[in-house]
């Protein structure tokens, strides 16, 4: 795939997002009896949401009211729904969150961290960055968190993205299941993916981890999943957001207290949704690279925005106002998120 097609796809998403912002406000639910609509992906990096949904916790918290759960497969689609008002809260990667904040009137708010770590570059044969020349690498979606990470890393290695006019490495944005299939068929050298896809590529297709993204960040900490809402929802449904965050905090503490048991709960929830629970070794390998975290790591968000801007994905890296932890602070009695 030439570079022209990915950039045209990104432009298409931006147009959809802007159209959504200007034309879909009527989809916003309102009133005391309106459901609180919570979005997440069937992915173990959305661990707290998976368990809350499977165990019925979203509907059990006093003050939360009626809850509707909505599943998405990628961040841009979830962010379109959030901006349109058809979703109130979402678990999502920082890339789409930053992109939406800057391109949709700065209405989005990150209200808590969820998961840190859990993104890797798995390759079949290459032992060094330079051995990737002439190879194909995949990411889950153009402009998503892992796509930006790979493109920035290649640039730092003095490797160019292949275009019709030449270049070093071809980057192909395709869905996670397609990445695994292409890797098993030998059609791509590797991919920069979130867990459990990295662990699955290793277990089912061999190869090795060329980059564990934790090694690229100070103290090995960067957010993979954050919890977001909008300024309007914070203003109009603050008590219900607080109720949701009590569930989120409780599950995060449960994960820290007993990681093996929590991983088993996540896998059960993952299996209910996908009908394909992970084998125990793959689950353990994937969870070994994940860290539960209420801290969205604002410094890493700023760096991610700088990376996205340097690649031309966003017009600015000014994310002042993006993070609002005031409800989380209230829920935790002022304790600093960690």
Q: Phi, psi (5° rounding) for residue 121?
A: -100, 105
Stated length of the chain: 338
Provide the b/e sequence for 304-315 (b: ≥16 CB within 10 Å). Answer: bbebbbeeebbe
What is the pLDDT confidence band of residue 26, given thresholds at 50, 70 and 90? very low
Give the three-state DSSP class for 297.
Answer: coil
| Per-residue pLDDT tens over the stretch 94-104 | 999 999 999 88
Q: Phi, psi (5° rounding) for residue 39?
A: -110, 145
Q: Which of 228, 225, 223 is nearest to 87 (CA)?
A: 228
Tokens encoding 280:
């125990």
> What is the rounded CA–CA span in Å between residue 213 and residue 33?
43
Tokens encoding 325:
């932890």
What is the pLDDT confidence band of residue 32, given thresholds at 50, 70 and 90? low
Instruction: Answer yes or no: is pLDDT of 35 > 60.
Output: yes
Give the three-state DSSP class for 13.
Answer: helix
> What is the rounded CA–CA span in Å between residue 42 and residue 93?
13
- Tell me which of 257 and 1 has the higher pLDDT: 257
Q: Which of 192, 137, 133 is nearest to 168 (CA)?
A: 133
Tokens encoding 91:
């678990």
CA angle 105, 109, 112 (to 5 degrees): 165
Task: Please give the mean pLDDT across all residues of the chain.
Answer: 89
What is the pLDDT confidence band of residue 61, given thresholds at 50, 70 and 90? confident
**Arithmetic mean of pLDDT, 248-275:** 96
pLDDT at 250: 96
Contacts of 142 (CB under 8 A, 6+ apart): 6, 9, 10, 13, 173
Instruction: Answer yes or no: is pLDDT of 301 > 70.
Output: yes
């Amino acid at each position: 795939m030439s570079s022209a097609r990915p950039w045209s796809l990104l432009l298409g998403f931006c147009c959809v997002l802007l159209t959504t912002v200007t034309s879909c406000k009527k989809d916003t639910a309102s009133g005391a009896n309106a459901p609180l609509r919570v979005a997440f992906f069937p992915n173990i990096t959305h661990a707290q949401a998976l368990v809350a949904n499977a165990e019925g916790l979203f509907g059990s918290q006093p003050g939360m009211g009626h809850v509707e759960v909505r599943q998405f497969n990628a961040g841009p689609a979830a962010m379109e729904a959030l901006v349109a008002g058809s979703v109130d809260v979402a678990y999502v990667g920082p890339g789409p969150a930053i992109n939406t904040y800057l391109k949709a009137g700065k209405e989005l708010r990150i209200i808590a961290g969820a998961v840190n770590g859990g993104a890797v570059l798995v390759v079949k044969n290459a032992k060094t960055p330079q051995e990737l020349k002439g190879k194909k690498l995949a990411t889950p979606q153009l402009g998503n968190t892992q796509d930006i990470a790979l493109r920035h890393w290649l640039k730092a290695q003095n490797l160019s993205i292949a275009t019709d006019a030449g270049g070093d490495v071809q980057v192909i944005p395709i869905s996670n299941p397609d990445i695994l299939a292409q890797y098993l068929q030998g059609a791509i050298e590797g991919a920069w993916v979130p867990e459990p896809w990295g662990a699955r590529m290793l277990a089912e297709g061999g190869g090795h981890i060329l980059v564990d993204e934790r090694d690229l960040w100070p103290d090995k900490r960067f957010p993979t999943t954050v919890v977001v809402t909008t300024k309007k929802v914070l203003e109009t449904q603050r008590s219900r957001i607080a109720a949701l965050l009590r569930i989120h905090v409780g599950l995060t503490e449960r994960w820290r207290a007993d990681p093996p048991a929590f991983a088993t709960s996540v896998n059960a929830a993952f299996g209910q949704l996908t009908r394909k629970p992970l084998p125990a070794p793959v689950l353990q390998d994937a969870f070994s690279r994940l860290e539960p975290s209420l801290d969205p790591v604002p410094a890493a968000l700023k760096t991610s925005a700088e990376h996205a801007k340097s690649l031309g994905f966003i017009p600015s890296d000014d994310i002042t106002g993006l993070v609002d932890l005031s409800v989380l602070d209230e829920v935790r009695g002022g304790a600093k998120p960690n």
